[in-house]
Amino acid sequence: MDMIEQYISISLASLIMWGFMMAFLYNVVKKSSAPNSDPSVMWMSLAIFLSYFVSDPLLNLSLGVDLMYSYKSYLIWALCDLFTLIVILLIARKKTIESFPAKLYVIIGLTVNMLLFIGMHIDINMVNRFDPWWFWSFYSVTVNVMDVMMIIALFCNKDFLGLVRGYNRLRGLLKPEASPNA
């Protein structure tokens, strides 16, 4: 990876981490302005922010750890996402996705990212593929899209992509709409 690509990837990772920090701070202010409101989204924001903070490439470089070029980096990121997913499930275990759509968005985002990290780990370390191919581009775009989706969900806690509605339809929870002739 040349110097420009390395700079862009480190900057993008730091920008994503900053987005999660802003989502957390926004939810802290929102919670403090309505003290009796549910703090679940705030705690989910904190969990994700801390996970991304610990695995941030810029922080790791400043500590002398070059996680970007470690052969275990994708596995470490997958484990961080798995741990964060477990924490999120514990935080929001009694919360419905109808009242907390951010829960579903975060679960989907972390799961997709974790599976992509595992896929990259297998591709690079087990298959020993070192030449870029379509999966690497798919990985790069999808991980960043999932991160942005989670940040937006933590800010607004709304079903902005219709995932909750789709989830409910898959589960058969939505009643069929009445026909206009009835």
pLDDT in tens, 66-105: 555 667 889 989 999 999 999 999 999 999 999 999 999 9
pLDDT confidence of residue 182? 46
Enumerate the H helices of 34-133 as residue ranges: 40-54, 57-62, 73-91, 101-121
Find the DSSP H helices in 92-179.
Answer: 101-121, 134-156, 163-171
Given this model, what pLDDT does residue 20 score? 97
pLDDT value at residue 3: 76
pLDDT tens by residue, the chain, 182 residues: 567 877 787 788 889 999 999 999 999 999 999 989 999 999 999 999 999 988 876 665 665 555 556 678 899 899 999 999 999 999 999 999 999 999 999 999 999 999 999 999 999 999 999 898 999 999 999 999 999 999 999 999 999 999 999 998 888 855 655 445 54
Question: CA quadruple 74, 75, 76, 77: dihedral positive or negative?
Answer: positive
Q: Are 101 and 164 in contact (CB under 8 A)?
A: yes
Tokens of 138: 């798919």
Q: 93 phi and psi, to 5 degrees?
A: -60, -30
pLDDT for 65: 57
In this prediction the pTM is 0.87
User: What does the pLDDT read at residue 181?
Assistant: 54
